Chain A
Amino acid sequence: MLLRKFAVVTPVLAAAVWALPLSSPVQAAEAYSAAGQVADLPQPTVRRLTPSQYKNILTDITGGGIAVEGKFEPDVREGGLVEVGNGQASISTTGMERYSAAALLISREILDESRRATLLPCAPASPKHSDDKCAREVLSKIGKFLFRRPLSENELKNRVSVADMAADKLGDFYGGLRLALASMLESPQFLFRREESEPDPNRPGEYRLTAYSKASRLSFFLWDSGPDAELLAAAESGELHKPKGLQNQVDRLLASPRLEAGIRAFFTDIMHFDAFEALSKDATIYPQFTADVVRDAPEQTLRTIVDHLLTHNGDYRDLFVTPNTFLTPILGSIYKVPVPDLADNDSPDRSWQPFKYAENDPRAGILSQISFVALHSHEGRSSPTLRGKALRELFLCQKVPDPPANVDFTLLQDTSNAKLRTARDRLQAHAASPMCAGCHKITDNIGLGMENFDSSGQYRTTENGVPIQPSGVLDGVAFSDVPSLAKAIRNHRAAPSCFVSRMHSYGVGRASTRAEAPFIATLQKEFSADGYRVADLLRTMTLSPDFYRVAPPQLASAETN
């Protein structure tokens, strides 16, 4: 059915997916697949842990207090998501060196004398010799959380035997244990989330994730960490495969304050906040855009999102127009609003305060925040093109092609051009070239609507003395300024459907496949019916068997090792 339906529209869409103003991303994805990709049921994924997941798992195990970092490899972004890119990423030699060095440091911290009493279930008969029984107890207890499942007898046996061997050679039980623990932190079972499948007894002939893989998918999705003891127990007992058992766990995970970590991780990913690590501005032009601003800007947006979506269970679409946010004194100096510092005089000045903009203030919604307007700008000038592109790609799931090679950008870069004093003038001159015109029409029209914000995120009404004209049209809807542009995005049909599709991809760690299209369509419908409440969307998604449905295992490879 589906195949036939979309095969008809394919030629149009394949030519210009992004140009169709009202195509939903799902339609686009399906059509794109139908155009020649094999898109059956999805295979289970093997995802590299993200830095925050790495860190969260170890924090869960130790209860915090140890220095853990997890970023040892550059992020890979695919289909707009690092979480999808991680399904394609491996670990390089340099990265492995760092993972390995971290494993040695962390395992030493975990087994530090001060933590043994609380973290370890037993003590050795002698601290100078191996103790088979105690090593086994420790490694199986901690290993279960590292591997997100009980260790196989073989895995456990191997590690106990090296722990024993090392303890005897080093004359130190904990030294031996440390090395065995480090080997777990270096192992693929820990560093990669490998999903496994099994036949689904409820749908004969079909496959689903195993209970442990299901538990991991749930907890990484909702908490950005590995499963806790209760979730692992539900997997072990088989409860997680029963609708009631699944519902209990989903409700528990959603009701937990740890959901905030999951929401933060998701928005950090879809909003490309990893790019803040490389963001800098020309200090001569923007002396106020300091390292403090870079640190606080994404946090402002994440606080706004968590407050709106979780604390107040708000409509997702209102994120684009909400006047409520949180500011630090430093951010206040960029936004030019008063934010007093309540911390003591000798403390770092970054106390957070709730802030509400007056009605009709141009600063409303997350797109007016530094985390968007400054991130999608050049070092020394704003960029209607980058902003327009980001707006379409991040929030409407519309693909904007990259510029062709060998384009002359001189006109655009010369902000001191006496004749072309605003970005609008410069872009018009630049895009007069037919080669550039097509794409710039897609991006600039809306990007120019945000020209009231300079590259550092400060509000302005003129550029080089000429008043800025922020009006334009977004896919047929006219806007005259930033608030009306924000409203047009809020009301854009693709905004919620894009969100659902991103969330699904994020949860499953890959692009959605054609076979999942009906599921996503259902999710979109329910999202709309529920008033665009994100907690409801998460619940609908994670309670559905479709979220865990996978392809049958591939034929055994002829290659055996």
Chain B
Amino acid sequence: MIKSKILGLAVCASLFCGAQAVQARETKSFIISEFYPAMYSEADNCPEGLNPLANEQFRKALELAGRSEEEIKLFLTDLYKNPGAGAATSAVVGPMISERARFEGKAYNPYINPQLVPDPGWKAAVGRYSYGFNLDGRGGDDKASFEDPESHERGVNNQLFRLWGCTQNHIAKLPGEIPNYPSEAWEVVIETMPVWLVSVTGQDLSKDGDVVISVDRGLKHGMRDAHGHMRPDMTYMIDPDPKAHNELRGKIVDGEVRAEGDALFIRGDPFFQPEFNFSKPKIRFKLGHDGKGHGLIGGYMPWLPLYWQHASHQFITEQLRGLDVVGFYNALRRLADYDPDPVTGENRQMSTAWWIEVVPAFAIPYDPELERKASKDQLASTP
């Protein structure tokens, strides 16, 4: 029973089975194996220099909080000197940073109330090139826009690149250079986060023509190969939750898949970012000879989740990643470029572009019967 079911599924879901050729539609599936802010860093991005590292961040934060030079020195000396406990729990040095917000003379948590702390400033990137898409429909005359170095599309909106472009652990020129912190988060999270599946369906995928792109979430995390990359040709069942399913429409043009839609929702992971909620999403990717492909997913997304991705770790973010959370908050607000709040007029969303790599996979529909019928022996691992 199980046997035939698996085979049945294989036929519908896989490119490698040609049995459904009668219907003359084929599907190729992939998992997203890399996903980073689409950084294209160049030497002239930061005329005012880079955002400083933790040591300077702390010094500046404490100065802004009105601490004396002596207190600052004490803080920097004692920060890591408390056996068994981080500074966050230390009665002496913890409050200096984690209670540096002030309102009516009282101390407050600066991560929850960043608006109560003086803005330490944030250096954002400038430049001609950035990966991305023209999301607002305005052309290359729009001074706030970039030119995509790969597609050479002009009028590209990617404030996410501007946001991170002068931060040391994000600076990278993809492909080849990989942004440091985003790759840390991604590499850790893919060990457990169910895969993101992308399936392309069309008449004949070897030729240009109309296609439908499904973006789904799988039920299991990806597996790695001997190099530590995501392993190709693994099989993933699709999460039956309707919210996990998206469809975009588009074309294959010169071998490149391009598609767009109204909305795209991908569930992430709390460690990383709980969800990615794109407005006006666009996707493009091109396959290489090894069956893998790379490209972009872009669109507007609310900036508040981007803030919480870092602020939720509170002092740890500042201590271990050298990111000034308050400066980051103010930068997000300043750089947001879409969806003004009807009351305040402040933009609630930000244009983004994310670099993706895809590797081939089998995506098959979830079948509760398979799980129900699987014997204990089947679920056991190899002795």
A and B directly contacting (CB within 8 A): yes
Q: Is the CB of A342 within 8 A of B16?
A: no
Q: Majority SS of interface residues in chain A?
A: loop
For the complex, count residues of B whose C-beta is within 8 A of A. 41
**Could you tell me the distance in whole angstroms from the C-beta of A519 to the nearest C-beta in chain B?**
35
Q: Is the CB of B234 within 8 A of A329?
A: yes
Binary contact track A298-312/B, C-beta < 8 Å → 1, others 0: 010000000000000
Of the candidates A289, A330, A343, A348, the one whose C-beta lies within 8 Å of that of B226 is A289
Within 8 A of B (CB), among A348-395: 348-356, 358
Binds A, one of B7-15, B204-212, B336-344: B7-15
Q: Is the CB of B235 within 8 A of A342?
A: no
Binds A, one of B122-130, B293-301, B375-383: B375-383
Q: Is the CB of A287 within 8 A of B227?
A: yes
Residues of A close to B10: CB separation below 8 A: 337-338
A296 to B223, CA, bound (A): 15
Q: Majority SS of interface residues in chain B?
A: mixed
Nearest-neighbor residue (CB-CB) of A350 within chain B: B381
A512 to B201, CA, bound (A): 62
A350 to B379, CA, bound (A): 7
Q: Does A290 contact B (CB under 8 A)?
A: yes
Q: Does A346 contact B (CB under 8 A)?
A: yes
Q: Is the CB of B231 within 8 A of A349?
A: no
Q: Does A341 contact B (CB under 8 A)?
A: yes
Q: Is the CB of B370 within 8 A of A287?
A: no
Q: Does B194 contact A (CB under 8 A)?
A: yes
Nearest-neighbor residue (CB-CB) of B7 within chain A: A356
Q: Is the CB of A329 within 8 A of B235?
A: yes
Residues of B close to A358: CB separation below 8 A: 7
Residues of B close to A333: CB separation below 8 A: 223, 231-235
Within 8 A of A (CB), among B327-383: 362, 364, 367, 370-371, 374, 377-383
Q: Is the CB of B371 within 8 A of A328?
A: no
Within 8 A of B (CB), among A267-322: 283, 286-290, 292, 295-296, 299
Q: Does B90 contact A (CB under 8 A)?
A: no
**Could you tell me the distance in whole angstroms from the C-beta of A556 to the nearest C-beta in chain B?**
46
Residues of A close to B194: CB separation below 8 A: 345
A-B contact pairs, 22 of them (CB 8 A): A290-B226, A290-B231, A292-B223, A332-B233, A332-B234, A332-B362, A333-B231, A333-B233, A337-B16, A338-B9, A339-B235, A340-B9, A341-B235, A341-B237, A347-B379, A350-B381, A351-B379, A352-B378, A353-B2, A353-B374, A355-B6, A356-B7
B residues in contact (CB < 8 Å) with A? 2-4, 6-7, 9-10, 13-14, 16, 192, 194, 219-221, 223-227, 229, 231-237, 362, 364, 367, 370-371, 374, 377-383
A residues in contact (CB < 8 Å) with B? 283, 286-290, 292, 295-296, 299, 324, 328-330, 332-334, 336-343, 345-356, 358
Beyond known contacts A290-B224, A351-B379: 16 more, CB 8 A cutoff: A283-B227, A288-B232, A292-B223, A295-B382, A329-B234, A332-B362, A333-B233, A336-B233, A340-B370, A349-B223, A352-B378, A352-B382, A354-B3, A355-B3, A355-B6, A356-B4
